[in-house]
Every structure is written in structure tokens, then in C-alpha cells.
């Protein structure tokens, strides 16, 4: 028997970059076999993260495409046969004001939260093979609560993930499947590194701790929810240096 098939399995969407990559690394250290979901533009980075893991595999799929999600589910069944933790970490941000935003832009943003919903729906069946146990962790954002100029569809997507968390928790009551959101503040990732200096200065001035967070600080909480938390569900946990109290 392949002993890796006895290990718990964590599937991480967007697991090859930023916060997702930090989650892949820490859950691998926690003893999980990690499935890294990625799309074409970040294949190289995803393969690099995979090379750093003790045990893992790649899952190429665009979450905006239900057919690719179905292919991904088939791959999970073939490569892992089980899922114990799902981290919905994939996301995009289209930065335009309401007058510049097009319907196509909006629909592209909306497709990610739809894909997270559909992937979760399909993976729940694999949780149920494990006697109705599992952990679902949605990576949302502080801006889903505070709003942010020029990011209306993005803030709507992140607020939707938190609403999804609370509703799914109630639907899964009694099944030992815990559902939570982690809402990062401003984190030191390529998304924030590319901001103009004056925007960065304004952001730092609004954070009581006076610095950006690190992807590892978000991953630490994901690890806790995946491995140790047993009486937390339906909750949005903010990790933002004091920017927003929740």
C-alpha cells in the first residue's frame, strides 16, 4: 500500500503564490499531503512551491470553469482518494472605479466566488467518505467589511465568502465539518508590493501595528483551524494588525 494515501490531505486553491503558498508549506509541515491548485500564469511558482513540500501534487484548474473543476475532482480522487481540509484561497483583484468597470470585469471577479462555491460542493462528497469530518477555510479579506475604493467587485466577492462561511456552517450542523473564514488585512504579497509608494504609505499609516502582515502570519491561523481548532465554526477571524476590529 502507498503510505502517502494514509496521510490527511489538504487542497489549497491558489496554493502556489502569496498566502496560498505559505498555507501549502505550513500544512505540509503539519503532516498533510498538499494538493496545490493553480492556473497557467503561476505554473512555475507553483512547481517551485511543490518542490519544497514533503508530499504534494499539482492540480491545474481555472475555478471560473466548472468543467475544469470536474477534472480537478477526478484528479483528486485518483491521486489522493480523500480530502480532509479545503482552503479556498484563490482570488483575483480587478482595480477599477465603478465608471471604468465593465460587465466582463465584474463577471470575471464573480466567477471566482462561484467557483469556490462549486468546488466546495463537489469536495463535500469526499469529506463524507471520511465519516463526515473535515475543515473548510475560506480566505476572505478585511475589505469585505470595510470596503475599498476602486475594488467594488473584489470587496463584494470577499464579503460573499464570509456569508458563505456562516450559511454553510449552519447547513453542515451535526456533521463535524467545520467552516471558517480568515480575513487578512494588508499582507506583503505581490498584490501589495505593486502598489504606488503613496498608497503604501497611506495604508501603513492606518494600521495600528505600523506594518504589513506576512503570508506566514495568515498561514499560522489556517494551520490552527485545520489541525487544532475543534469548537470554532461559522466564524470570520480577522488578521490585520488592528486595522479593523471585526
Convert the pLDDT of each residue in 2-40 to its tens digit.
556 689 999 999 999 999 999 999 999 999 999 999 999
Q: Which has the minimum average pLDDT: 139-153, 187-201, 228-242? A: 187-201
In a domain, 244, yes or no: no
Residue 13 lies in a domain: yes
Whole-number Å distance between alpha carbons of 13 and 88: 5
**245 within some domain:** no
Please give the Cα distance from 33 to 233 (Å, whole number): 23
Residue with cell 502517502: 4
Cell of 245: 476590529
Q: Are strands 235-239 and 33-38 parallel, antiparallel or unpaired?
A: unpaired
The least confident of 43-52, 108-117, 125-134, 206-215 is 125-134
Where do we find the cell 476590529? 245
Q: Which three cell numbers stand for residue 169?
A: 456552517
List, as one string, the DSSP characters of 21-59.
Answer: HHHHHHHHHTT-EEEEEE-GGGHHHHHHHHHHSSSEEEE
Q: What pLDDT does residue 4 have?
A: 66
Q: What's 181's domain CATH number?
A: 3.40.50.720
- Burial category of 141 from C-beta neighbours within 10 Å (exposed 0-12, middle 13-18, buried 19 and up): buried
| DSSP 8-state code for residue 129 | H
Question: CA 90, 96, 97 angle in degrees (round to 5)?
Answer: 130
Asked whether residue 101 carries a pLDDT value surpassing 90, the answer given is yes
- pLDDT at site 9: 97
Tell me what pLDDT residue 190 has.
78
* Within a domain: 207: yes
What is the total count of domains within the chain?
A: 1
Query: Where in the sequence numbering do the catalytic residues fall?
Result: 154
* pLDDT tens-digit readout, 57-90: 999 999 999 999 999 999 999 999 999 999 999 9
Average pLDDT over residues 213-229: 98
pLDDT at 196: 75
In-domain check, residue 188: yes
Residue ranges of alpha helices (H) inside the chain are 18-29, 43-52, 66-79, 103-129, 143-146, 152-171, 190-193, 197-206, 215-227
3-state secondary structure of 6: helix
> Which pLDDT value is given to residue 167?
98
Note the pLDDT of residue 127. Answer: 86
Please check whether residue 246 lies inside any domain of the structure. Answer: no
Domain that holds residue 19: 3-239
Using CA atoms, how far apart are residues 152 and 190, in angstroms rounded to an integer?
A: 20
What percentage of the chain carries pLDDT values higher than 90? 82
Amino acid at each position: 500500500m502507498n503510505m502517502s494515501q494514509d496521510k490527511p490531505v489538504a487542497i489549497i486553491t491558489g496554493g502556489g503564490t502569496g498566502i496560498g503558498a505559505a498555507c501549502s508549506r505550513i500544512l505540509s509541515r503539519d503532516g498533510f499531503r498538499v494538493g496545490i491548485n493553480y492556473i497557467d500564469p503561476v505554473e512555475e511558482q507553483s512547481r517551485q512551491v511543490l518542490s519544497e513540500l514533503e508530499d504534494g501534487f499539482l492540480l491545474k484548474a481555472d475555478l471560473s470553469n466548472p468543467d475544469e473543476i470536474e477534472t480537478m475532482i477526478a484528479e483528486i480522487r485518483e491521486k489522493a482518494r480523500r480530502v480532509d481540509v479545503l482552503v479556498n484561497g484563490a482570488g483575483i483583484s480587478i482595480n477599477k472605479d465603478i465608471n471604468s468597470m465593465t460587465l466582463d470585469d465584474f463577471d470575471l471577479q464573480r466567477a471566482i466566488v462561484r467557483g469556490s462555491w462549486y468546488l466546495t460542493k463537489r469536495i463535500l462528497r469526499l469529506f463524507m467518505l471520511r465519516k463526515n469530518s473535515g475543515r473548510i477555510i475560506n480566505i476572505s479579506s478585511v475589505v469585505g467589511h470595510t470596503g475599498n475604493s476602486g475594488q467594488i467587485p473584489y470587496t463584494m466577492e470577499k464579503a460573499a465568502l464570509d456569508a458563505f462561511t456562516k450559511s454553510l456552517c449552519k447547513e453542515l450542523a451535526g456533521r463535524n465539518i467545520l467552516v471558517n473564514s480568515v480575513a487578512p488585512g494588508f499582507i506583503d504579497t505581490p498584490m501589495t508590493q505593486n502598489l504606488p509608494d503613496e498608497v503604501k504609505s497611506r495604508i501603513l499609516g492606518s494600521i495600528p501595528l505600523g506594518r504589513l502582515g506576512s503570508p506566514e502570519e495568515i498561514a499560522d491561523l489556517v494551520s490552527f483551524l485545520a489541525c487544532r481548532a475543534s469548537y470554532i465554526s461559522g466564524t470570520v477571524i480577522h488578521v490585520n494588525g488592528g486595522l479593523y476590529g471585526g
